[in-house]
Amino acid sequence: MRSTLRKTVLTLAALVAGGAGAAMATTPAQAAPSTTKATTSTTCTTDAKLVPSCGILWGGAAGGFTSAPRDTALKSWEAASGRTATVFHAYHKGNEPFPTKSEIAMTSDAANPRVLLLNWKIAYKSTWAAVAAGEQDARIDAFAKRAKAYGKKFFLVLNHEPENDVIAKAGSGMQAKDFAAMERHTIARLRAQGVGNVVNVLAYMGNEKWMAKSWWADLYPGDDVIDWIGLDSYVSVEKGYHFGKFADLLDRKPKGGLGFYDWATTKHAAKPLMVAEWGAYHRVGHVADKSAVYRSVLPELAKRPAIKALVHFDTKHDDQGDRDISIDSTKNGLAAFRKLAADPIFNVKIG
């Protein structure tokens, strides 16, 4: 979802203290890496591109739109959900220095190993075309030094959900082709400076409105640049727009076209798929049970072997103040989410 779903801190401390689409084609499904359910006798680990050998990476994001430290917010969400997030999702823009001290500390916790998923609006106060032309090379170079000093593997998303930022007008500097050029230039420059610990993710919105645009395919910069395909998508638990269960956020499609999961596994079958933001929402002040959505996740994952990471986004209200995407809006919903989080398929060790 857009920055309309950026991160608000979870108000879960009291709860914790109190105890608390189209069918996928046969060929792509066979070509995609298989997902093997983790068991107590299986050790699932990640490879050089952070793809798990079995199981699925579990992650979360919390703390946006507040002054609360993001690490503290994530730990509160972890306590409420009952599982430590393997993926710590955070957001940055422009010249902000990152990984931050708190992010580094979160991924240096031997008792709770985590890997970073960092969104970077690299073209902040600029344009994609300008970045591609070298205008922000100093910004890229500064990040390259920090990334190399950090040393550990981490996921990087350059301008997540680019569809919503496209200005489909010649000379705007923000056309879909400009986004692809920005991706290629940035990754090439990082690689040329010896940055080998970045795993690049292209995180789409996967909204049927954007997928129907003639320029949508132009966003993709090439398989040699992208390591993972990402999706930021949500479902409503109130009947109406985007009402549904977990499958519905994966399968949105333009008229006559493929749903997002089918598109990714057909056009880019060799790429692992990350649900980089997901959740169920209802209007603020209109409480509705999210249990059915959470219960639908595991059956869908079993049918969709390309999905290798699942990263929940939690907020009491988005930046427009109209959607509650928190896991604890009802007691039954939280119980269902905790049951989902406890599944051993998410027992993956960072390699």
- CATH number of the domain enclosing 88: 3.20.20.80
What dihedral angle (degrees, nearest 10) is formed by the CA atoms of 93, 97, 99, 104?
-140
Six-digit token string for 250: 């994966």
Count of structural domains within the chain:
1
Instruction: Provide φ and ψ at 283, rounded to 5°.
Output: -65, 145
Six-digit token string for 220: 């993709």
Provide the domain limits for residue 205.
3-349
Each residue's pLDDT tens digit, 138-175: 999 999 999 999 999 999 999 999 999 999 999 999 99
Residue 206 clears pLDDT 70, i.e. is over it: yes
Quote helix, strand, coil % in the chain, to nearest 5: 35, 20, 45
**What pLDDT, on the 0 to 100 scale, is given for residue 23?**
34
Of the candidates 344, 340, 264, 343, which has an alpha carbon nearest to the alpha carbon of residue 304? 264
CA–CA distance, 78 with 56 (Å, rounded to integer): 17
Average pLDDT over residues 307-321: 89
Instruction: Provide φ and ψ at 75, rounded to 5°.
Output: -65, -35
Residues 284, 321: contact at Cβ < 8 Å?
A: yes
For the whole model, what pTM was predicted? 0.88
Each residue's pLDDT tens digit, 263-291: 999 999 999 999 999 999 999 989 899 99
Residue 1 clears pLDDT 60, i.e. is over it: no
Residue 67 clears pLDDT 80, i.e. is over it: no
**What pLDDT, on the 0 to 100 scale, is given for residue 320?**
75
CA–CA distance, 197 with 65 (Å, rounded to integer): 29
**What pLDDT, on the 0 to 100 scale, is given for residue 37?**
53
What dihedral angle (degrees, nearest 10) is formed by the CA atoms of 189, 192, 194, 197?
50
